[in-house]
Chains A and B, each alone.
Chain A
């Protein structure tokens, strides 16, 4: 928990914080409504028991310290005709774009989405016009010095647009960060969206992500989470029109007393939609990782295909990984696959590498790196892949 706070914030404190937030982005009334939703609705993951130490419905933070001006968002990459702006600037210069996103992405219906909506003054908007291809990746960097922070990342790709977006967080130690990703990928557009996060002990990072994918459009989501703090992700992708595609890849590598809790839902809401989920989780020391993978195929989604692959590697005797897949299929003419493996590093693999001159530590590291390799490959840019590999190596050291 962040220092000095043991209890979740009261309604009065939340409303006082909403009042102090940037009402150019969202009116006070809308903020207050969102916060009431946050207070009265469960996250769906509040079954505390001995294993799940964290009750997500009772997270403690001080809302009145929210979004201090010390927190910043910066952009890099050549934009061409695309727009990338801090949310406050976007609210002033492009209010119609924000309104359009708000009409289509209902982030408020998810508990932590509502929290971010209610308290956020920090964020980013990326808007790519129709049929425009942003050749270079756009890197969004959040520097979080003041806690708590509620960064919202809004992305709107018009029909036929293409972009790669990398979101990086530089959070100060002990920070409480609850942000959103609100993504619209219109017909024929393609978005690659990658996030990496390292959360240290005592820090909390929560992400609520909603993606809407249009006809013959595609989205590729990649996330990599490290550290010994608490990371919660709640991601939902809606394949709303025929031919929509989604690929998501995730790396989980919690260490120490780290706790990672990720729910990823894919909704196949139209015919001939395609989704593929690949998760590679490894937990060391006393770390806990939980992955809830939901595939929902609605009645009119004939010809759709969904696959869910989830592999877990236990690196410490007290580490724990739970993988909970769920397939909810209401249509006959579909293909859905699910596969999961869980285990420790095999002694025969270690011996094989040692017999080739690698010492035991190097052998374990090689095997663990290999375990993550296919998912590292799903990240954009060679530099990012290299830094991920480096981080995996450092974590396994």
Chain B
């Protein structure tokens, strides 16, 4: 694998309203790999996700972030998406009057122009919705408008499946989901990775609780605290967090520092 491949973050610092939240993040998500980013509330996980996606409220003050060699930080949010980055939002915005089907088509065209004929697009949509257990009536509804928490997250997963990004960041996609929805999210990730377009997709799954990791097995687990990645390990790290919570890790890291 080339040195430039992957979603590569180095020394990334970011502030929100003049408060530094990210204090030097180093992370490499290789193509085809699943990374889990875990950590207690307020550790900066969502800030990392939104900074990488280019949210205007987050100022990157130092460091770099590249996607298969392309520097992301100089790009507008839409160009980051077109470069192959996808963010599944923790709190997706509602946009009344914009039908889900029309939006998905516009987004697919923007990210992968001319890649699907209308009939193929519809066939793909039906297939992906089936995997996610979504009713066809979803297509005529307005984007996230009046959606339940679970419906919003399923729609985020549907978008990920339809846009087939090179790298996807899932920001607490599992929070607030019941067991069935959690399984659907897991199935959706598996289906994307089994598809032609998504076989090489790298993923960064941000989560507070390890339970989603029962449905998706990560290759690497990171623990984030106070704006830094403090521990990196294998799947067993997630199991340890489930047993001990974050306090044990905090003690260990604190003792080491």
Q: Taking the nearest CB of chain B, how far is it from the CB of A377, in angstroms?
A: 9
Q: Is A130 an interface residue (CB 8 A)?
A: no
Docked pose: A347 CA to B98 CA in angstroms: 16
Q: Which residues of B contact A385 (CB under 8 A)?
A: none
Docked pose: A72 CA to B52 CA in angstroms: 61
Give the number of chain B interface residues (Cβ < 8 Å): 31
Point out residues on A near B: beta carbons under 8 Å.
Answer: 346-349, 351-360, 362, 366-367, 369-374
Q: List 9 A-B contacts (CB under 8 A).
A: A351-B55, A351-B93, A354-B54, A354-B78, A355-B77, A355-B81, A357-B82, A373-B98, A373-B99
Checking A348, A357, A367 against B78 with a beta-carbon cut-off of 8 angstroms, the contacting residue is A357
Docked pose: A353 CA to B78 CA in angstroms: 8
Docked pose: A373 CA to B103 CA in angstroms: 13
Q: Which residues of A contact B163 (CB under 8 A)?
A: 356-357
Closest to A351 in B: B55
Docked pose: A351 CA to B76 CA in angstroms: 10
Closest to B91 in A: A348
Docked pose: A372 CA to B55 CA in angstroms: 27
Known contacts A347-B56, A351-B56, A366-B106; is A356 also within 8 Å of B111 by CB?
A: yes
Q: Is B204 an interface residue (CB 8 A)?
A: no
Closest to A367 in B: B95
Q: Is the Cβ of A358 less than 8 Å from the Cβ of B107?
A: yes
Q: Is B146 an interface residue (CB 8 A)?
A: no
Closest to A345 in B: B95
Docked pose: A173 CA to B113 CA in angstroms: 41
Q: Which of B64-117 contact A (CB under 8 A)?
A: 76-78, 80-82, 86-87, 89, 92-99, 103, 106-107, 110-111
Checking B110, B111, B142 against A370 with a beta-carbon cut-off of 8 angstroms, the contacting residue is B142
Closest to B98 in A: A370
The 4 closest A-B pairs by CB, nearest first: A370-B97, A357-B110, A373-B97, A370-B98
Docked pose: A181 CA to B101 CA in angstroms: 39
Q: Which residues of B contact A369 (CB under 8 A)?
A: 97-98
Q: Is the Cβ of A358 less than 8 Å from the Cβ of B106?
A: yes
Docked pose: A366 CA to B143 CA in angstroms: 11
Q: Is B207 an interface residue (CB 8 A)?
A: no
Docked pose: A354 CA to B80 CA in angstroms: 9
Q: Is B51 an interface residue (CB 8 A)?
A: no
Q: Is the Cβ of B87 less than 8 Å from the Cβ of A355?
A: yes
Q: Is the Cβ of B78 less than 8 Å from the Cβ of A371?
A: no
Q: Taking the nearest CB of chain B, how far is it from the CB of A395, in angstroms?
A: 16
Q: Is B159 an interface residue (CB 8 A)?
A: yes
Q: Which residues of B contact A352 (CB under 8 A)?
A: 89, 92-93, 95
Docked pose: A355 CA to B88 CA in angstroms: 10
Q: Is B189 an interface residue (CB 8 A)?
A: no
Q: Is the Cβ of B77 less than 8 Å from the Cβ of A354?
A: yes
Q: Is B48 an interface residue (CB 8 A)?
A: no
Q: Is B53 an interface residue (CB 8 A)?
A: yes
Known contacts A351-B55, A351-B77, A373-B98; is A346 also within 8 Å of B93 by CB?
A: yes
